[in-house]
Structure 1
Amino acid sequence: KLKYGGTNGTSHLNRHMSSCIKRTSDVQQTIIGRTPTGGIFSFTFSQMVARKETVRYFVREEVPFVKVEKPAFRRWMRKAFGPQFKPPCRATMRNDVMQIFEQEKTVLKDLLQNIPGKICLTSDMWTSNQKLGYLCITAHFITKDWKLHKRVISFPMLPSPHTAMYANLLNWNICDKIGTVTLDNASNNDSAVARLKDSLFENDFLSRELFHLRCSAHVINLLVKDGLEHVLPSLENIRESVRHIKSSQAKLQSFFACCERLNMKKRRLPIDMCTRWDSTYIMLFHAIPYQKVFDLFFYESDFRYVPSLTDWNHATVIRDFFKIFYDSTRLFSGVHYVTSSSFCYQMSKIACILKTIADVPSFKLMYNDMKLKYDKYWKPVPMALGLASIMDPRYKLQVLELCLELNYESEFHSESIVSERETKMFAYKSKLFEVFEVYQKKLDNNVVGPSNAAPNVPQEVDMVSTLLSQRREASYETSKSELHRYLDQPPLMIPQESAFDILDWWRTQEASYPVLSAMARDLLTIPVSTVASESAFSGSERVVSKYRSCLLPNVVEALTCLKDWFQAEEGTQDEEANELEELMGEIEIN
């Protein structure tokens, strides 16, 4: 043993220091802790894991890289998570982002190239505070376990919109898997779609016909915008009354007192925003039940915008009318469920609600404008979405027939209108069987494959080849009846409001309908909206954040894609869907 004392000297200690290996702190030491539920877990610190999770947090929350060098951030990490963590600099953070992006991209590439069906695309334009254009390309696909997924696969900065879409698809090596593309209603989309068709489907006329769809959320925005122009003035008194109540704490407390007197829950009422039409619906939804509270609050008031009984009655009609558009937009903007099969059902609901105001004098102008826009985009139901609705076992042909009946309905029910409707329905049925035959032949080719006979084969082998060919033809005729069998069976009797997993239904029917299930998978992959619900109600452009727009384009793309991929991994791609409603919605005051 080495001893230290006043009589022992220190030379032996110096010799020990020069010869003994220094003990380092054991940063890999396992720590035992408890979970929030009381369970025990073990944790081993890893600098690499800590760096990766730091990158993940910065990407998910869109935190600027420079924050990692701030003293406050470093102190927080050191004090809260331990001194062994060494935060990287911003340059290292950027390099880590690009490295993780390339790793995750390789994994996603492999996934996309091995899915059993088609990939359907959506794209929408973004801009920055520097007026630079970015194209967000999103892939929608169904995996082997019949689960629907979506991933942002590209976010390039474009000097000219859409010119680089095909180049990005080549980079991902998925050109042979593309099924459809859903775009907004920008005027330059037609030329972009034409170029994509020429590149992807040079001689495939069937695929070209089904390829392009317009974003249904954008179309609904156009309809609602035309309609609201006629009714917004009649809502002025309610809007100004809500603004008046929220203008001071004293008025708000007085409003709460009126709520208590009438045994109503105390709530902060939202006010609408000029950039989002759903905010007007939400304002009316929460204000109308408090009509009597408004009357009490403004009793004997000289406020000039006090809502009258006529104002409230008018607002109730408007709220009920626009509810279907609000619900349809939210439905069409979903991420984790099929939307294409519900298109005809929702269009039928919109057509019916439009009919209710067709002969109401005060809404006649609104009806004319909205019906004109509806007919422009949806009177001929998009072929791909019409076929997708048939793949829903709850609807089959019925809801498509109803939608066409409503779209081509005439006040006088003239013979020409009936004939046109029947002609359209015949076209959908013909296309349905045409698409089915394509899938049948594709399945036959995949199962049997072409014959590669060696030279000088004895003649007897040709007999076997002939027999096999006959069996293939017989099998083709038998399986061709899959579609007939599916259509001949009555639709499933499941109430519309009940939960129904259409993909799980087709998964269980895959053995009975091997060809039709493959066709259904591709049609049900189609998204009807290009945007998530948090931006579906706004006509404004989507804007890259101020800090991201200062970065190099390849870094912006990596950050945007990684954020979406991380959210997909966590199952939180729709976490912002209710952001506005939670912000504006009814807030109960305890």
Structure 2
Amino acid sequence: MSTKSSETDKSTPQSQPSEQVSIVQAFASVTPYEKGSKRHKEITDAITNHICKDMVPAYIVSKDGFRRLIQTLDKRYQLPSRTHFTRVAIPEMYEKCKAGVEYELKKVKFYATTTDMWSSRTMEPYMSLTVHYIDDNYEIKSRCLQTAYFPENHTGENIAQGLKEALASWGLCEDQQVSITTDNGSNIVKAVTLNNWTRLQCFGHRLHLAIENAIKDERISRANGLCKKIVGHFSHSWKKKMMLAEAQEELQLPQHALITSCPTRWGSMQQMIDRVLEQQKALSQVLSADRKTRHLVPQWQDTDVLESVSKALGPLQEFTDALSSENYISVSYVKPVLHLLNTKILAVKDEDTDLTKTIKSKILNYINKHYEDETTQELLDIATFLDPRFKTNYTDEDKLPNIKARVMSDMDMSSHKDTYEPGSSTSRENPDIDLPPPGKKARKSLGSFFKTTSAMPAALQLEEAIASELNSYLLSPSIDSEEDPLKWWRLHQINFPRMSRVAQKYLCIPATSSPSERVFSTGGNVVTCHRSCLKPEMVDMLVFLAKNL
């Protein structure tokens, strides 16, 4: 056996000789790509996408570390200059992305919008506009159309004209706009009124104003001011932070940092109060140890006030976060949420303190008062009616006939629009329909002898079909509140062809103006202290690409 194996080893070569590289291959491996080649364009596009999507400064292409990275990945690629990216690559990508968005919008039958005003780090004013719609596959889509430089005075008239021009520049018809969601700024409200558009007030902004109104109390102001001083004291002293961490470990409290309150976000105030209450023992231990900070130790009166505020506002935080999303339906949630606030979340309980009861009552009275508008109520009722999770559950009985009539009217308009729309199956202009040649009489089929003509006019037939479709929808079982209504409509559009189109029309409306605020957050990441000299046109391009790529 040993002899045989040794012979085998001898016959087996220890190493295979490497294949010799030809001179042509050797030169090709180091020859730079031609600038017009496919590979060069692919890498350049990928770098441009990285700059725009990840909001990276264009000067990164001139940094040694980035250039070394590219050289390591592909030695044949020669990185273009920064000027090439800012003047050629980014504008080309913008035009290409813009063309894709325009193509999408041409197929949109109905849409909703959100808008807001913003000033950059360099105090340059901008106006954002986002569009929201439901496509033929029943998926909700959002597109940022512009972050336009707006140097004019922010009057209602100027904003109204600016919004009209923005829609026209994208080829969007105003008649197809179902609603526009904005905050409650007087100039924005006036602009929408001048344009004669339907407006939905931002739920998050309205709730913020309701809470601001409810906490106008000297006791709350004192306790809230004390929290801010405590947070500020620990934020500016690394020694106090270390002492707080030691106290947390000693008292077996969570190793959580304190939270700073933001004046324009009531939720941050609520989080700050909750964190101070959570860390109260550790904070008192650290502050009491220093004679200069003993006045910051919360007294029992302050603790009672903070607990009362936390108990009243705590449950509201989740509703604001849920209604601010643009990835799922939110407008049909507003009526159910208002009902829940009145009957459960903000309902006064026996165990509530007097301050908690006062806060709850003030918030409810403010919100109910500002949602009494008939136009707003009708819009919310229709959206809730078209949501298969809720239907008529949150609509008043006396308003139900009017809502049904409005939905049936929209169904009728949708039917007529499809009938006379060029290219539709019932249109005379459809080239796919085979018409008999002129001069020849069409031969009758056997089935035509058994065909009977209906005595009912076509208008009455359509009216009956619409009423039947509406009743069938109401009789169908409601789906679970956790399910996606758009998936339900996608599956049942065959059974409810007219109502499904009406659902596409109304369910695209966002309940808050958060999409426009997110655009400004993106703008803040673009116009940084290192890029404060960006031209407004470049800011618009970069924000557009960051949101739409």
Q: Is the TM value for this pair above 0.5?
A: yes
Report the Cα distance in structure 2 between the residues aligned to 1:433 and 1:252, rounded to whole angstroms.
Answer: 64
Provide the residue aligned with 1:55 in structure 2: 48
The reply on whether 1:254 has 2:237 as its aligned counterpart is no
Give 1:160-175 correspondences, 5 Å limit. Answer: 160-175=158-173
Counterparts in 2 of 1:535 and 1:108: CA distance versus 1, 3 Å? closer
Structure 1 stretch displaced more, 321-330 or 373-382: 373-382
Structure 1 residues 534, 557: closer, same or farther in 2, change over 3 A? Answer: closer
One-letter identity of the residue aligned with 1:221: H
Aligned-pair CA distance for 1:82: 4.1
Asked whether the 8 Å contact 2:309–2:356 carries over to 1, the reply is: no
Aligned residues of 2:240 and 2:286 also touching (Cα < 8 A):
no
Does residue 395 of structure 1 match 2:395? no
Confirm or deny that 1:502 pairs with 2:502: no
Q: Which residue of 1 aligns with 2:101?
A: 108
Cross-structure match for 1:26: 29
Determine which of 252, 263, 268 is the counterpart of 2:252. 263
What per-residue deviation string (whole Å, max 9, x for no partner) do you get for residues 350-383 of structure 1? 3344442899643677567645542442133432
Match of 1:41 in 2: none
Gaps of 5+ in 2: 1-22, 153-157, 430-434, 445-450
Specify the SS of the correspondent of 1:57. helix
Question: Does residue 550 of structure 1 match 2:543?
Answer: no
- Offset at residue 338 of structure 1 (A): 0.8
Taking the aligned partners of 1:272 and 1:383, their CA distance within structure 2 comes to 36
The CA deviation string for residues 80-136 of structure 1, in whole angstroms up to 9 with x for no partner, is 434433222232112211111111111221122224x41211111122345432221
- C-alpha distance in 2 between matches for 1:241 and 1:269: 9
Q: Distance in 2 between matches of 1:434 and 1:548?
A: 52
Cα separation, partners in 2 of 1:350 and 1:430, compared to 1, 3 Å: same
Amino acid at match of 1:91: T
* 1:91 partnered with 2:91: no
Give yes or no for contact 1:258–1:297 (8 Å, CA) kept in 2: yes
CA shift in 2, pair 1:165/1:243, >3 Å: closer
Does the aligned pair in 2 maintain the 1:329–1:537 contact within 8 Å?
Answer: no
Identity between Structure 1 and Structure 2 (%): 22
Q: How many angstroms does 1:262 deviate by?
A: 3.5
Are 1:379 and 2:372 matched, yes or no? yes
Q: What secondary structure is seen at the aligned counterpart in 2 of 1:138? A: strand
Aligned 8 A contact 2:130 2:515 in 1:
no
Residue 213 (1) aligns with residue 208 (2): no
**8 Å CA contact retained: 2:414, 2:501:** yes
Q: Displacement, 1:524?
A: 1.0
What residue in structure 2 maps to residue 339 of structure 1? 330
Letter in 1 for 2:266: W
Equivalent residues of 1:238, 1:306 under 8 A apart: no
- Structure 2 distance, partners of 1:135, 1:311, is 42
Q: Is the 8 A contact 2:131 2:142 kept in 1?
A: yes
- Secondary structure of 1:288's partner? helix
Are residues 1:513 and 2:496 paired? yes
Residue 178 (structure 1) aligns with: 177
Written as runs of structure 1 = structure 2, the 5 A alignment for 1:67-466 is 67-71=60-64, 73-78=66-71, 80-94=72-86, 95-115=88-108, 117-158=109-150, 159=152, 160-175=158-173, 177-197=176-196, 211-230=198-217, 231-294=220-283, 296-297=285-286, 302=291, 303-352=294-343, 353-356=345-348, 361-362=354-355, 366=359, 370-371=363-364, 373-380=366-373, 381-401=376-396, 424=399, 427-445=402-420, 449=426
What pairs up with 1:35-54 in 2 under 5 angstroms?
Answer: 46-54=39-47
1:561 counterpart letter in structure 2: F
Instruction: Tell me: CA distance 1:546–1:255, structure 2 relative to 1, closer, same or farther (3 Å).
Output: closer
| 2:511 match: secondary structure | coil
Structure 1 letter corresponding to 2:112: C
Counterpart of 1:442, as a letter, is K
1:65 maps to 58
Is it true that 1:491 corresponds to 2:483 in the alignment?
A: no
Task: Give the superposition deviation at 1:301.
Answer: 6.5
- The one-letter amino acid paired with 1:331 is A
Assess if the C-alpha contact under 8 Å between 1:121 and 1:140 holds in 2: yes
**Which residue identity does 1:90 align to in structure 2?**
R
Given the two structures, how large is their TM-score scaled by the length of structure 1? 0.71
8 A contact 2:336–2:394 mirrored in 1: yes
Q: Which SS does the other structure have where 1:258 is aligned? A: helix
What is the DSSP-based 3-state SS (H/G/I as helix, E as strand, rest coil) of the residue aligned with 1:124? Answer: strand
Aligned length: 490
Mapped partners of 2:519, 2:268: distance in 1: 12
Q: TM-score, normalization: structure 2? A: 0.76
Tell me if structure 1 keeps the 8 A contact 2:348–2:360: no
Per-residue deviation at 1:310? 3.8
Cα distance in structure 2, aligned partners of 1:293 and 1:21 = 74
- Which residue is 2:17 aligned to? none
SS at match of 2:254: coil
Letter of the structure 1 residue corresponding to residue 474 of structure 2: L
SS in 1 for 2:260: coil
Distance in 2 between the 1:483 and 1:310 partners?
A: 58
CA RMSD across the alignment: 4.0
Whether the aligned pair in 2 keeps the contact of 1:55 and 1:93 (CA below 8 Å) is: yes
> Is 1:129–1:543's contact at 8 Å kept on the other side of the alignment?
no
What per-residue deviation string (whole Å, max 9, x for no partner) do you get for residues 286-318 of structure 1? 333334444555567751121234433332332
Residue 26 of structure 1 deviates from its aligned partner by 3.0
